[in-house]
Chain A
Amino acid sequence: MSCTEREKLFGYAHRLLDPREEHEVRAHLESCPTCRAAAEEYRKLDTLLEAWTPLEPSPSFDARVREAVERSGASRSVFGLFGLPGLRWMAPALVTVLVVVASVAVLHVRHGRRAAHAPAQASSMPAAPAADALSAPPTGAMGGEEELNLYQNLAVLEDYDLLAEFDLLSELPKGETKVEN
Chain B
Amino acid sequence: MDQDLDLMLRVRAGDSASFEELLRRYRVPLVSYFRRMLRDPALAEDLAQEAFLRVYKARARYRPDARFTTWLYRIATNLALNAIRDRKEISPAGDGESSDGEAELLPVVDSKPTVEQLLIESHRVRLIRDAIQALPENQRAAVILHKYQELDYGQIAKILGVSVSAVKSLFFRAYESLRVRLEPLLKGGLI
Contacts and interface: CB of A to CB of B under 8 A. Distances in A.
Interface of A: 6-7, 10-11, 14, 16, 41-42, 44-49, 51-58, 61-62, 64-66, 68-69, 72-73
Contacts of A72: 53, 56-57
Contacts, number: 97
Nearest to A73: B56
B25 interface: no
A153 B121 CA distance: 67
Contact of B31 (A41, A45, A51, A61): A61
Nearest to B131: A49
Given A57-B28, A65-B53, A69-B56, A10 B48 contact: no
Nearest to B149: A54
Interface string B2-20: 0000000000000000010
Nearest to A8: B172
A90 to B, nearest CB: 18
A52 B57 contact: no
A45 B45 contact: no
27 contacts: A7-B172, A41-B179, A41-B186, A42-B179, A44-B191, A45-B179, A45-B186, A48-B128, A48-B186, A49-B143, A51-B121, A51-B128, A52-B148, A53-B107, A53-B108, A54-B107, A55-B28, A55-B31, A56-B28, A57-B28, A61-B27, A62-B23, A65-B52, A65-B53, A68-B52, A69-B19, A72-B57
A151 B147 CA distance: 63
Interface in B14-60: 19, 23, 27-29, 31-32, 35-36, 45, 48-50, 52-53, 56-57
Interface residues of B, number: 41
Interface in B121-172: 121, 124-125, 128-129, 132, 143, 147-148, 168, 171-172
Q: Identify the 4 closest CB pairs spanning chains A and B, nearest first.
A: A53-B107, A57-B31, A54-B32, A55-B32
A68 B191 contact: no
Contacts of B23: 62, 65-66
A52 B126 CA distance: 9
Most chain B CB neighbours (cut-off 10 Å) among A42, A44, A51, A72: A51
Given A51-B121, A52-B36, 17 more contacts: A16-B168, A45-B186, A47-B191, A51-B128, A52-B148, A53-B108, A55-B28, A55-B32, A55-B36, A55-B105, A62-B23, A64-B45, A64-B49, A68-B50, A68-B52, A69-B53, A69-B56
Contacts of A65: 23, 27, 49, 52-53
Contact of A57 (B19, B45, B129): B45
A42 B143 CA distance: 13
B86 interface: no
Nearest to A58: B45
A11 to B, nearest CB: 8
A16 B146 CA distance: 13
B148 to A, nearest CB: 7
B107 A52 contact: yes
A46 B182 CA distance: 11
Nearest to A67: B49
A41 B180 CA distance: 11
Contact of B176 (A6, A52, A53): A6
